Structure 1
Amino acid sequence: MTDAPRLFDRRTVAARRRRAIARGRPEDAFLVDIVAADVAERLATVSREFPTALAIGGPTDALARAVADSGRSHRVLRADLFAAGPDGAHPADLVVDDEVLPLAPASVDLVVSALTLQWANDLPGALVQIRRALKPDGLFLGVLVGGDSLTELRDAMAAAEIELTGGVSPRVAPMGEVRDMGALLQRAGFALPVADQDRLTLRYATPLHLMRELHVLGAGNALAERRRGLTPPALIGRAAEIYAERFSDPDGRVRATVTLVSLSGWAPHESQQKPLRPGTAKTRLADALKTTEIKI
């Protein structure tokens, strides 16, 4: 772990995730289903098995079920950051902080993470923890919210707050860009790192429906320097009005942009493909292109 700045209040993230579990509204967690389906599709392209898998994140068991249903893993452990509820029960097999995974080095074959790494104070450190937990030639698949996600809501909230209070409190969490994620995977020691993104445009009846869904997902403002206390109803109402004015479609529904950044990488192993050393190529580029080499 490094001395990374404390951007997020991890206790708040855990408490909100726990409340999301307690509310039990899987119909409002469809984004988790989208991510789980994407992970399952990516696993389907890998022609090998992963005896022990760890599925981190999500207010439902969709991710763990997707891995189990893929037939690629014999044992799937569901893990998350949330703590047990008042009755001592929680639906996960393991309660973990993905910034400090309590796993022995080289102890699992597959790690999948869904919609949780965007709240890591030390994302490079979290990726290192995951890579260390993987056995050689183990696979990591992760999806996090990044890019310009929820830019419409952020603009509306900022405009409403400036209008009503004359200032803006910290509400905008830094979001990773796909162009940086491949470098972070390589820095963490993954082999064959890949990062790509999928930009979704979701539509809601009103901005309040979007806000409710974020609440159900436990995805509210968790910045450490956020303004404490309940958000004033007047601010929420005015933000909803501005949102509807600026981001409505002709049918009256409002748009919300979500960018999902997908990551994959392998724990290094001697069997993996490696780039050729400079000067060891056996075929000239000019021959491959069927052209004449011009010497300068």
Structure 2
Amino acid sequence: MFVFDRAVVAAHRDRAAYARATHPSNDPTDPLLEEIARRTLDRLADVKRAFPRVLVLGGASDAVVGLLMRERADVETVVVTDVSMDMLKFTRARAAASFPAAGDGDGDGDDDERDEPAGGSLPSQTLLNKEGNPECLPIKPNSVDVVVAACGLHWANDLPGAMTRARETLTPDGLFLASVFGGETMREMRIACAVGELEREGGVSQRVSPLARVRDCGNLLTRAGMTLPAVDVDTLTMRYPNVMKLIDHVRFMGEGNASASRRPGPVRRGTAAAVAAAYATMFPAVENESDLEKAGVEATFQVLYMTGWSPGEGQQVASERGSAGVSLSQLEQELEKVPEPP
């Protein structure tokens, strides 16, 4: 399947790396990505064992690396992969600024060779294997203890394949942690774009990339060969002064529409104005504010968290279907008998 244009994804992340590195405030931190990274790694903190070798897959890689280095004394090696070479450089530069030892690399003090991906610099800035597949990881099988993909996998054209390859890089009984934007993300923008385009152009085009649904995540983990799969959902609501600030934030994160079937070219000026007006009217951040400019707008970001393990000896095994001694209806009846707290 060719759902996303990987060259466009790389270009968006290149632009985001530049915008964050040159931000006037000198603070490249993105609060949304930092929060998602923190919530993703909270699941790692629940496991009472060491994870010395970590593979980080794109997305909020700089936030993940920073949290790992600050909070995980057991981490010895962190490998970061990304479709964007500029984002890789930004991640390493930010880690080196906060933790000087992180910039040492192989210790020779020469970064020039390490700046280029294996096989040379490619137009799409991806790594290709011998079959020409741009989504194969440049990591040996059974080489890392945990794979962390915070907001990095939702741009994969072959998501089951990408997750399978991530599982193959894990040692036996290794942990896979991922967070992806779900289908309810920026639903307000989808609605506003539909309303604005219908009003000005008489039709609707795809303005927001397709995203995964909750019901798909469990199947993806199982299909990738993960054991003990678990999926949960968060919904985060962000507030912005206006629609343009929301769009700027999406670009700042490198999350612009990269769908292969997206409508080419910029949005018409009249259509953009109609979309902004529809958004501000239907989704104000402050509902009782009569002045829409002061009310601002809100945007929903749905985050799906996936946890799975590579097969290994001594793991817990799920009981067979139908082997439970108590039904859910019986459990519900017993819970109803519990007295309410005073």
Shorter-chain TM-score bucket reads 0.7 to 0.9
* CA distance 1:277–1:58, shift in 2 (3 Å): closer
Alignment of 1:266 onto 2:267: no
Once the two structures are TM-superposed, the CA of residue 40 in structure 1 deviates from its matched residue by 2.7
Question: Which structure dedicates a bigger proportion of its chain to helix?
Answer: 2
> SS where residue 195 of structure 1 aligns?
strand
Once the two structures are TM-superposed, the CA of residue 202 in structure 1 deviates from its matched residue by 1.5
* CA distance 1:284–1:153, shift in 2 (3 Å): closer
Separation in 2, partners of 1:192, 1:89: 35
Partner of 1:294: none
Separation in 2, partners of 1:116, 1:99: 12
* CA distance 1:181–1:284, shift in 2 (3 Å): closer
Shifted more, 170-179 versus 148-157: the winner is 170-179
Alignment of 1:78 onto 2:80: yes
Amino acid at match of 1:54: L
Partner of 2:13: 17
Alignment of 1:57 onto 2:58: yes
Shifted more, 122-131 versus 28-37: the winner is 28-37
Q: Where does structure 1 lack aligned partners over 5 or more consecutive residues?
A: 290-296
Separation in 2, partners of 1:19, 1:32: 16
How many aligned residue pairs are there?
Answer: 279
Please give the per-residue CA displacement for 1:45-95, whole angstroms capped at 9, x wherever unaligned. 11111111011223661111112223242111222110349xx95545886
Please give the per-residue CA displacement for 1:154-210, whole angstroms capped at 9, x wherever unaligned. 111121112212222222322212222012101110011111100112111111111
Alignment of 1:197 onto 2:233: yes
Separation in 2, partners of 1:165, 1:131: 46
Separation in 1, partners of 2:167, 2:49: 19
Partner of 2:99: none
Amino acid at match of 1:274: V
Separation in 2, partners of 1:218, 1:45: 30
Alignment of 1:212 onto 2:248: yes
> SS where residue 61 of structure 1 aligns?
helix
Give matches, 1:102-181, under 5 Å: 102-181=138-217
Amino acid at match of 1:215: R
Separation in 2, partners of 1:27, 1:89: 13
Amino acid at match of 2:14: R
Does the 8 Å contact 1:61/1:78 carry over to 2? no
Separation in 1, partners of 2:317, 2:282: 50
Amino acid at match of 1:51: P
TM-score (norm. length: structure 1): 0.86
Separation in 2, partners of 1:42, 1:218: 25
* CA distance 1:284–1:172, shift in 2 (3 Å): closer
Partner of 2:107: none
Amino acid at match of 1:193: P
Does the 8 Å contact 2:196/2:278 carry over to 1? yes
Please give the per-residue CA displacement for 1:234-267, whole angstroms capped at 9, x wherever unaligned. 3222211110011112241212111000011111
Please give the per-residue CA displacement for 1:217-243, whole angstroms capped at 9, x wherever unaligned. 111111112122222333222211110
Partner of 2:111: none
Once the two structures are TM-superposed, the CA of residue 278 in structure 1 deviates from its matched residue by 8.0
Partner of 2:297: 254
